[in-house]
Amino acid sequence: MIHRRRWAEVFPLTPAAILRWHRHLVTRKWTFTDRRRPGRPCTRQPVKALIVRMARENPAWGHRTIPGELARLGYPIAASTVWEILHAAGIDPAPRRAGPTWRQFLTAQAPAIIACDFLAVETLLKRLYVLVFIEHGTRRLYLAGVTAHPNGAWTAQQARNLAMDLGDRISELRFVIHDRDPLFTSAFREVFAAEGLQVITTLPRTPRMNAICERVIGTLRSELLDRILILNERHLALVLQKYLIHYNGHRPHQTRHQRPPDIETQPARDVTDLNDLRSIRRKPVATGTINEYHHAA
């Protein structure tokens, strides 16, 4: 009696709706509330945050290594729980997720590397050469020597002097980086080889392979040598020695969290001390071209 095209108007109820109601009815009836028992307590949020922190700080740790470290801290937890927490945080629970970044990799290698290069300084109608060394890990700068006529024998002698100055610390180093300057002779390389260091020579026209040493040479020019007139070899050595004290003992470095090379930790001071500017003292160093600021004693 009713045409099929009008069924949706006359009968708004569909078979799918009836089946859906039935499923909801069964779900509400069979809840099994009478059979429920207390389960495991939920993992606390601080523990979850610690698990995520461990995974991010240790890329090689997976959902089976982290429970062992937590057990040492007095919090036993199942590996499956750690897997669920890492998965919920968007972290691959398997170890060796992405490997170290370039910054992490280079930072780990830096303490074993020392680099060297020549710095040319123009004086009054005369050119002087300075051999500098810098440790990658600590950013500690060494002034090997100053001369107007460098040669292979002089360079090798400066390497011997540096090895004596380093003393037992040279055993912590593994690599020496320098360019292909002919002044770095076989005698120069043998000095470091005798101490167990491997010499790495950079490729031609690739200063980025010795970037840290190139950068410190640029710092010497911009902060010191471009601001004063060098008179002679003795004057240059004196100026560089004073700057060396400032560079290693006071100048902050971003890679060392604004700490100088020779100071592992600096005294922490409350920022409120800066309200009284009279307590801040200025100390000119390196012929007055650079200032250091200290709290008054």
Average pLDDT taken over every residue of the chain? 85
Among 117, 125, 143, 138, smallest CA distance to 214 is for 117
- Using CA atoms, how far apart are residues 126 and 148, in angstroms rounded to an integer? 8
pLDDT at 68: 85
In whole angstroms, what is the distance from residue 197 CA to residue 290 CA?
36
User: Which CA distances in Å does 256 have to 109, 112, 196, 211, 292?
Assistant: 15, 16, 27, 17, 18
Higher pLDDT, 107 or 233: 233
pTM of the model: 0.69
**Sorting pLDDT into bands at 50, 70 and 90, what band is 104?**
confident
Q: How many helices (H) and strands (E) does the chain have?
A: 10, 7
Domain ranges of the chain: 4-32, 45-88, 107-256
pLDDT digits (tens, 9 = 90+) for 30-84: 776 666 566 667 888 888 999 999 888 887 788 888 888 888 888 888 888 988 9
52 vs 16, higher pLDDT: 52
Q: What is the pLDDT of residue 5?
A: 76
Return the bridge partners of 120, or none.
129
Encode pLDDT of 166-203 as tens digits.
999 899 999 999 999 999 999 999 999 999 999 999 99
Compute the average pLDDT of residues 115-133.
Answer: 94
Retrieve residue 182's tokens: 């002919």
Q: Examine the pLDDT at 253 and tell me if it is beyond 80.
A: yes
Q: In sequence order, which residues have a C-beta less than 8 Å from that of residue 293 and are 6 or more positions away?
A: 280, 281, 282, 283
Q: What sign for the dihedral angle of Cα 98, 258, 215, 187? A: negative
Q: Which residue has the higher pLDDT, 1 or 170?
A: 170
Fold of 107-256: Nucleotidyltransferase; domain 5 (3.30.420)
pLDDT over 80 (residue 86):
yes
Give the tens place of pLDDT for each residue, 135-166.
999 999 999 999 999 999 999 999 999 999 99
H/E stretch holding 119 reads strand 113-122
The pLDDT-based confidence of 276 (bands split at 50, 70, 90) is low
Model pLDDT, residue 147: 96
CB 287 within 8 A of CB 242: yes
**Which comes out higher in pLDDT, residue 238 or 26?**
238
pLDDT higher than 60, residue 270: no
Q: Rounded to an integer, what distance in angstroms lies between the CA atom of residue 29 and that of residue 229?
A: 94
How many percent of the chain have pLDDT more than 70?
88
pLDDT at residue 39 in the model = 64
